[in-house]
Amino acid sequence: MSALEPFGARLRRAMDERGPLCVGIDPHASLLAAWGLGDDIDGLETFSRTVVEALADRVAVLKPQAAFFERFGSKGVAVLERSVADARAAGALVLMDAKRGDIGSTMAAYADAFLSPSSPLFSDAVTVSPYLGFGSLRPALDLARANGAGVFALALTSNPEGAEVQRAVGAGGETVAASVLRQLAAENAGAEPLGSFGAVVGATLADAGVDLAVNGPLLAPGIGAQGATMADLPRVFGDSVRNVVPSVSRDVLKHGPSVPALREAALRFVEEYAAAVK
């Protein structure tokens, strides 16, 4: 199997054609109940299939949260595999929200799981944690580059607890977040129209306080249920706003199980983005 076109190029095209919205596939117990589904494999499968049917042919990115599938064991992972394949077949890019991070052969194994075309979980990109050192991500970065996939490293997340690590200052006077962003920029050097190595930067931030110009995508959680809006994006991201992939989960998913209602909710966020970023 030949490598795909680089993820950054594919993402830029999808964002331009469909709008930049990323919608999570987060089948947690309370949401399954709100949809009238059981907190079981049947409910998981119905939920995931409905989200893919409603959105995979119209939003740029779908982002399954691996944990909500893994909690059901092997049967849940099988549902995740089908969801990934079906979403990609319908035209959405799939960002696996797994936040994996380890060293050496273990990191390589995580990379194989999500970034190798031979894996049933092969996704267009995966989220990773850089807190064992950015260099620990090398197996994922290299495999993603070889296979036309992408990686999103946690940098400035939307949860308030993240600041104690991400805003910490190293011996050289640089914050952890700034170091992650600087090294992502180096990975993306020279890439056109967009690099394949992105950062997770919360839309809820009062002030990023770091250089976000990494020549790669910026996944922006926190819109909707966590309080941020599309109108906040230009303030938080400045000149990098056109590389932002705003991520919304609950405020779209709560409109299920109606397929038309899910589509309408997603479209509304796309329109709000277009109005905010002119």
For strands 93-100 and 61-64, give the pairing: parallel
Residue 31 exposure: Cα atoms within 13 Å on the Cβ side: 20
Q: Which of 63, 75, 99, 254 is catalytic?
A: 99
Pairing of strands 197-201, 61-64: unpaired
99 is known as an active-site residue: yes
Closest CA to 112 of 149, 86, 80: 149
Are 126 and 152 contacting, i.e. CB atoms less than 8 angstroms apart? yes
Three-state SS at 117: coil
Of 71, 98, 99, the residue nearest 84 (C-alpha): 98
Given a contact cutoff of 8 angstroms between Cβ atoms, the answer to whether 107 and 101 are in contact is: yes
Which tokens hold the place of 124?
């267009």
Token pair listed for 151: 């990686």
Do 203 and 246 touch, CB atoms closer than 8 A?
A: yes
Query: Is there a contact between 167 and 175 (Cβ–Cβ < 8 Å)?
Result: yes
Length of the chain: 278
Catalytic residues, which ones? 99
